[in-house]
Amino acid sequence: MQLSPSVCIERTHSGLEFISINSRQCKAKIFLQGGQITEFTPKGKLPLLWVSGDETFSEGKGIRGGIPICWPWFGQHENKDFPAHGFARTHVWQADEVHETENEITVSLKLPMKQIDSTFWPHQSSLRVEFILSEQLEVRLTTCNLGNTPFSYTQALHTYFPTDDINNTRVTGLQGAQYIEFGQGPYQQSDVVGFTRETDMVYTQAVAVQTIETPQGMISVSRENSRSCVLWNPWIEKSKRLSNFADDDYKSMLCLEAANVLEDAVTLEPKQSHTLVTTIKWLG
């Protein structure tokens, strides 16, 4: 189904629908399941997102790569029977709007909240994600409180980035921030971050822009309405326990996630809204 000159809807062999973008500026894929972008490649440049070669694109299961949407909680819920990272990343979203101009394409999706089990989320709200695609990718996740009582939530845009060699990859721009690692801390980040072991750092008071230095080039990662971010690589042992993840996939990826977690959790008053934004691009 053609939605605009550069945008159409296709299906994987497993039956999942995705929006395919092939414009003068970029190529991209956005899955309706999870409202999840899995490919973004600016024309003439390398891909900016990573997906595991072991990914099966199965119905009802989170996709290992791209930008999963963690909402309305990040990580494990206090109720162990609730899905990790919330329900938004496995439900099927609805295509809401596609707008194409000469310079960019905007694709908007909305989560059909009436299909969500009220056991998980008893609040009246709406959730919308916008992808603004040009030579860079901007993702905007907007939550609205439609009810008469406030509610709180945590969230993350769980971005998977590619690298040719995790041992020669560094992240700058986190110096001076505090972080929690494996439930311990807070610690102070004093230096550029490299990767020599399992990394699972939740940063608070982080500045708005970080840079990932990889052998292929430098990637800028910026955030708006977010003072927290997450840096993750499962390393050797955890890789063996992850689904849809090859034992050596840790060598070719890392996650740097725009988030609102810990003391950066969002509380929305009635009729208020909040938009979490991340923008990624190659530098140079």
The residues assigned a catalytic role are 158, 257
Sign of CA dihedral 17, 21, 26, 30: negative
Nearest partner of 19 among 42, 6, 258, 216, judged by Cα: 6
Angle, CA 65 vertex, CA 63 and CA 70 arms, to 5° = 70
Residue 119 CA to residue 147 CA, distance in Å, equals 17
DSSP conformational letter for 215: T
DSSP conformational letter for 235: H
Task: Kindly give, in sequence order, each residue whose CB lies less than 8 Å from that of residue 17, ignoring residues fewer than 6 positions away.
Answer: 9, 10, 11, 31, 32, 33
Residue 127 CA to residue 52 CA, distance in Å, equals 27
Sign of CA dihedral 163, 65, 224, 151: negative
Residue 188 CA to residue 12 CA, distance in Å, equals 44
Count of CB atoms situated within 10 Å of the CB of 188: 10
Six-digit token string for 254: 């890392």
Residue 130 CA to residue 203 CA, distance in Å, equals 25
Q: From the centroid of its chain, how far is CA 230?
A: 11
The answer to whether 232 and 258 are in contact (CB under 8 A) is no
The answer to whether 245 and 64 are in contact (CB under 8 A) is yes
